Each structure stands twice: as C-alpha cells, then as structure tokens.
Amino acid sequence: MMRPSKSHPLWFAFVVHRLSGITLALFLPAHFWIMSLALTNADQLDRFLTFADNPLVKIVEFCLVFLLSIHIFGGLRLLAMEFLPWSNAQKSLAAAAVGLSLFISGTFFLQAI
C-alpha cells in the first residue's frame, strides 16, 4: 500500500476536505432539528432566531458556510483529479478554491451583519 506524502502540497487540501466533511456531518442533525421547529414549535424557533442575532453566532455561521464552500470545491477537485489530466497548476487551483470559498462565505457573513 502506498502512503501519501505529507509534504505533498495537496495533502493539506485532502485533510481540509475530510475535516470539513466531518464537521458538516456533525452540524446537519442540529440544523434539521432547528428547521423542524418551524413546523412543531414556533415559539422555540423564535427564541432561537433571537439567539442567532448574536455576533458570535454570525461568526460561526460564516465558518459553516466557509466549510461548506471548501468541501464543495474539494469535492470538485477530487472529481477533476479522477477525470481530467493535471499539471503543476494543481496548487494554484487549490489556492483559488480556498480564496473563492472565503469570498463566498464572507459575502454571506456581510449579508448577515
């Protein structure tokens, strides 16, 4: 079995993709529970939405959107690696994905303020 080299530039992209996926998987049950409050307990949903106006919650939302964006672009990178020939531009594409993810999550964050 070949072991990936941790010194390879895309090792970080691999780790970030896996960690973002785990984090999002842990977040989804809480998200679905909160969304179900719209149908089952409107008062409790209103209390949560009041809590969600807290600036710390906005920062956590930014992080979640960033993780989602990173995970999506990481998945697209993996699909491209499977189906497209790659050159030395992989590092640049991975960096562009991170930059675009920051832009997307930052846009959501600025809309929330």
Convert the pLDDT of each residue in 10-37 to its tens digit. Answer: 788 888 889 999 999 999 989 999 988 8
- Both structure tokens of 83: 């189906």
6 found inside a domain: no
2 found inside a domain: no
Higher pLDDT, 85 or 32: 32
Reply yes or no on whether the pLDDT at 3 is more than 70.
no
Q: Say what the pLDDT of residue 88 is.
A: 67
7 found inside a domain: no
In the chain the beta strands, taken as DSSP E runs, fall at none
Please tell me the pTM assigned to this model.
0.67
CB 75 within 8 A of CB 31: no
Question: Could you read off the pLDDT of 33-66 as tens digits, one per residue?
Answer: 998 888 899 999 999 999 999 999 999 999 999 9
Distance CA 5, CA 50 (A): 47
52 found inside a domain: yes
What is the span of the domain harbouring residue 25? 12-112
Neighbours of 109 (CB within 10 A): 17
Per DSSP, the chain holds a count of helices (H) and strands (E) of 4, 0
CATH of the domain at 29: 1.20.1300.10
Domain count, the chain: 1
Half-sphere exposure at residue 92, Cβ-oriented, CA atoms within 13 angstroms: 4
- The terminus-to-terminus CA distance of the chain in angstroms comes to 49
Distance CA 21, CA 9 (A): 20
